[in-house]
Amino acid sequence: MESVQEFKSGLGKASVLPPELKGWNWGAFFLNWIWGIGNSTYIALLMFVPLVNIVMLFVLGAKGNEWAWQNRTWRDVNHFKNAQRNWAFASLSLLFVVFPLMCIPLFSLMKGEAYNLSLTEIEKNVQVLELVGQPIEPSFWVLGNIEISGPNGKAALQYSISGSSGSADAYVYATKEMENWHLEKVVVYSKEKNKKIFVVSPEKK
């Protein structure tokens, strides 16, 4: 009569991971060092080491179940599964709910005065209207960088626009002096039509 192997957790490397627990651990991948502390897997603190942390993301995802089973004592397999499922739900909530909410203030900053000034110039430019049609609709996403130091600053932005005849990308460079933003360059480029329009440029100022 064959003996049934008993899988015990919390014994370090002496704990053999049950076959049904093998697989990817999303909680360890997304929450990494937080998950590591919660599961007594302190190797996850390597996430604070530059460059090493990139590799550790994938190592934790692949080895997370095994390490958590070895480093903590679980009542049984179901207890382990439920706990790791909760970690996965928490990581997905962070990814799809908390993180987007944190990005809202950033996008609000990007869509500030420099953005509004550029969009106003674009919307009244005859060449742009001929290129993409009207009404012009800007995209929700605005990429770039804004640096502000007291009353001065600078902004480099990129966003898409579309109209009844097509779409294009807008590139904006603006500076801030004494609390007032000034457009230095605004370029609209259509890759599809291979056309570039200088809406605002030093030569036009």
pTM over 0.85? The answer is no
Radius of gyration of the chain (CA): 27
Mean pLDDT of the chain: 88
Percent of the chain with pLDDT over 70: 89
**pLDDT tens-digit readout, 126-174:** 999 999 999 999 988 888 888 888 889 999 999 999 999 999 999 999 9
Domain locations along the chain: 12-104, 111-200
d(CA 18, CA 178): 66
Name the percent of the chain in helix, strand, coil, to the closest 5: 50, 25, 30
